[in-house]
Amino acid sequence: MSLKAPPSPARRSRGRGGQSGRPVRRTSGGLARLGPLPWIAPVVLLILAVVVWPVIELIRTSFLNISIAGIVRGSAGTDKYKKLFDETDFGHVLLWTVLWTVVVVGVTMLLSLCLAQLFNQNFPGRRVTRWALIAPWAASVLMTAIGFKWMLNRTAGVLNTVMIDLGIIDSSKDWLGSAGTAWPWMMFVAVFVSLPFTTYTLLAGLQTIPADVYEAARIDGAGSWQTYKGITLPLLRPAFLVGVVINLINVFNSFPIIWAMTQGGPGSDTATTTVFMYKLKETDIAESAAMSVVNFAMVVVLVLIFLKVSRWNEED
Amino acid sequence: MATATQTAGAGPGRDPESAERGAAAPARPTARPPKRTFRPRTLVITAVAWLLAALFLAPYLEMIVTALRPADELRDRTYLPDTLNWSNFIDVWKESSLGDNLQVTLLISGGATILVLLVSLPAAYYTARMRFKGRKWFLLLVLVTQMFQPTALLVGLYREFHQLEMLNSIWTLILTNAAFNLAFAVWILTAYIGSIPPELEEAAMVDGTSRFGAMIKVTLPLALPGVVTAVIFTFITSWNEFVMGLTLSTEPDKQPLTVGINNFIGAYTVQWNYLFAASVVAIIPVIVLFAFIERHVVSGLTAGSVK
């Protein structure tokens, strides 16, 4: 279950007496003579222009003085970083970002394990119910978040109505008005939109476990919890880890949920570093760039973990 | 379980034939024993699963209900409105500027999808068929791109296109959306094309077809499930994209629908019925499209690490 590059032709040709490290299709004149450039250059160019260039621009901007109108006023050295770290909100924004990411990913993984186990069973309507699970995955995260904002609306939100009718609360609340209640709801939405992908990833993992392993466990007299702990969980580990890392990256970056529901407010009480970065962009784009560089560094760490977890280098 | 055996080996590059089969016959029914007795356990599982399915759909159903509410019933604390106002779905495009935004979104998603296909197909074909110097680095670059989301690069993107004087241009959003979807497309197409035996092309070439002809007539049709997945996935992701639209276009009539809908909330009185009429129109086609490719998406997103 390690991450593998798509099958390389050389490996396939080995079976037919070919040598690895050489094009299989030596006969195919045009293809081989032109080399890879005309084929892969457009992809590389697009990535250079839209992914690599912004990274460089980002780092460069964080060391500049730039007016609100966007005019460069010389170098700022590391001033923007100092300004950023001195922001009174910076500490708690950082803390909440970590909490937000850890809680959302943790709860998502736990619930997805249950969901995957459930939807891996045989029951009537399995296909239909699994399709229903797709909705939050396919729909725009922003629109889902706006949907929840509306459902939490103080005057007419259906969630307020339901909770009043169930006797959970006495009168309708302004859930998104203060950080204490806004955070749990935003985390709820983040988990809600992360569940489908994670569940499907784990389902794919579950299906790689051969049936005879379970058969063997049954014959040995293992109970269902024992089987789950001793067989399913260890064998599910690769899928689980990939799910964790991809979710970490997604949740860390999940700007639309918070932006749609509270815009990080009141103040910066419900901002994560990405939201904070966006807010800084309005006043000082260089400081915002400094925040981005910090974010970017964290994403790089997560990507490296991903590559490690998926064991990119092990094969090929 | 209908398709578990097919799906089991559907990781790209692993057991492509079964991926092929899974795509061709997604609804293959399992031969079931004629008499099926419901055990209590199955009953509980069924009940829980259906309940969960309903919960997952609930927010979207509430959006539909709100989209059907007449304006004067918006503030009512009722679960369903007394009258259903279907005309909201038509009026929203007349009463607001969301029609422009929808048009922008269509152009961006369509443009990005075409661009992704044009650029990634040759690359995927070559990568799948040839072993060349830097192949591994190319695939690593592609994979890493998938991990870097636009949000992390937002300020850099803004600065870049500000300097190029390309803010508020449709082309900017087509380019950026295409770039961030390339990874998925290249990856899934490489896996699919790699799974098609080159012998098939060779056979066609022996029969006098050119290499290009063989590629178009033999390989492409066989890789179609991969192409369809890449197309639909790119279209949906660009359709749903928000942060780049918000940052790279500032003129209201040049912003995509997601940004337009979000702007609606900033207004003095939010016309939630219109807002959700537009949202529902934007969401439903996407969910339906997604259902077609769902089984291939996981393998593409996890880049083959999960079978």
pLDDT tens string A154-165:
888 999 999 999
Contact status of B297 with chain A (Cβ, < 8 Å): yes
Q: Which residue in this structure is represented by tokens 């702990």?
A: A229
User: A146, B265: Cβ pair inside 8 Å?
Assistant: yes
CA A74 to chain centre: 36
Hey, how many other C-beta atoms are within 10 angstroms of the C-beta on B71? Answer: 14
Could you tell me which residue, B149 or A188, shows the higher pLDDT? A188
- A58 CB neighbours in chain B (<8 A) are 153, 155-156, 159
Task: Output the average pLDDT for chain A.
Answer: 85
Q: Is A73 helix (H, G, I), strand (E, B) or coil?
A: strand
pTM of the predicted protein model: 0.85
Q: Which of B298, B299, B301, B307 to mutate to test the interface with A (most CBs of A within 10 A)?
A: B298
- A143 CB neighbours in chain B (<8 A) are 63, 240, 258, 261, 279, 282-283
Q: Which residue in this structure is represented by tokens 């760490």?
A: A301
Q: Which residue in this structure is represented by tokens 């797709």?
A: A134
Contact status of B130 with chain A (Cβ, < 8 Å): yes
The ranges assigned to domains in chain A are: 88-309
Q: Which of A61, A147, A200 comes nearest B159 by C-beta?
A: A61
User: Which residue in chain A has the smallest CA separation from B50?
Assistant: A129
Contact A105, A283 (CB under 8 A): no
User: B306, A242: Cβ pair inside 8 Å?
Assistant: yes
- A277 CB neighbours in chain B (<8 A) are 154-155
Residues 6+ apart with CB under 8 A from A117: A206, A228, A232
Give 10-residue mean pLDDT values along chain B (307 residues).
35 38 42 59 92 95 94 86 90 88 96 96 91 88 85 92 93 96 92 89 86 86 91 95 94 93 81 92 91 81 54
A74 φ, ψ (degrees, to nearest 5):
85, 180
Q: What is the per-residue pLDDT across A231-283, written as a single tens digit (0 to 9) for each?
A: 899 889 888 988 998 899 999 988 999 999 999 989 899 999 999 999 999 88
Hey, how many other C-beta atoms are within 10 angstroms of the C-beta on B202? Answer: 16
* Shortest alpha-carbon distance between residue A180 and chain B (Å): 22
Amino acid, res. A53: W
Write the CA distances from A17 to A14, A23, B174, B198, B297, integer angstroms.
5, 13, 46, 15, 35
Contact A235, A292 (CB under 8 A): no
Number of C-alpha atoms within 13 angstroms, CB side, residue A68? 3
Q: Which of B144, B167, B289, B287 is nearest to B230 (CA)?
A: B289
Q: What percent of chain A clears pLDDT 70, i.e. is strictly above it?
A: 87
Contact status of B28 with chain A (Cβ, < 8 Å): no
Query: In the predicted model, what is the mean pLDDT of residues A45-66?
Result: 94
User: B303, A3: Cβ pair inside 8 Å?
Assistant: yes
Residue range B99-301 forms a domain whose CATH class is mainly alpha
- pLDDT at residue A223 is higher than 60: yes
The CA-CA-CA angle for residues A202, A208, A212, to 5°, reads 125
User: B153, A55: Cβ pair inside 8 Å?
Assistant: yes
Read off the tokens for B146.
């998938």
Q: Which of A42, A128, A295 comes nearest B119 by C-beta?
A: A42
Predicted local distance difference test score (pLDDT) of residue A312? 55
Give the C-alpha separation, B108 to B180, whole Å: 13
Q: Which of B118, B186, B211 comes nearest A30 by C-beta?
A: B211
Predicted local distance difference test score (pLDDT) of residue B37? 59
Q: What is the per-residue pLDDT across A5-47, written as a single tens digit (0 to 9) for each?
A: 444 444 443 333 333 344 444 444 555 566 788 889 999 999 9
Predicted local distance difference test score (pLDDT) of residue A259? 95
Q: What is the per-residue pLDDT across A97-121, written as a single tens digit (0 to 9) for each?
A: 999 999 999 999 999 999 999 999 8
User: Which residue in chain A has the smallest CA separation from B306?
Assistant: A239
* Shortest alpha-carbon distance between residue A220 and chain B (Å): 23
* Shortest alpha-carbon distance between residue B60 and chain A (Å): 8
Contact A202, A116 (CB under 8 A): yes
* Domain A88-309: which CATH number of 1.10.8.100, 3.40.50.720, 1.10.3720.10, 1.10.357.10: 1.10.3720.10
What residue spans of chain A are helical by DSSP H?
A: 9-14, 29-34, 37-47, 53-61, 79-86, 90-119, 126-138, 141-151, 158-165, 179-206, 211-219, 224-227, 233-252, 255-261, 273-283, 285-309
Q: Is B270 helix (H, G, I), strand (E, B) or coil?
A: coil
Q: Write out the H or E segment, with its range, that includes residue A72.
A: strand A72-75
The ranges assigned to domains in chain B are: 99-301
Predicted local distance difference test score (pLDDT) of residue A26? 43
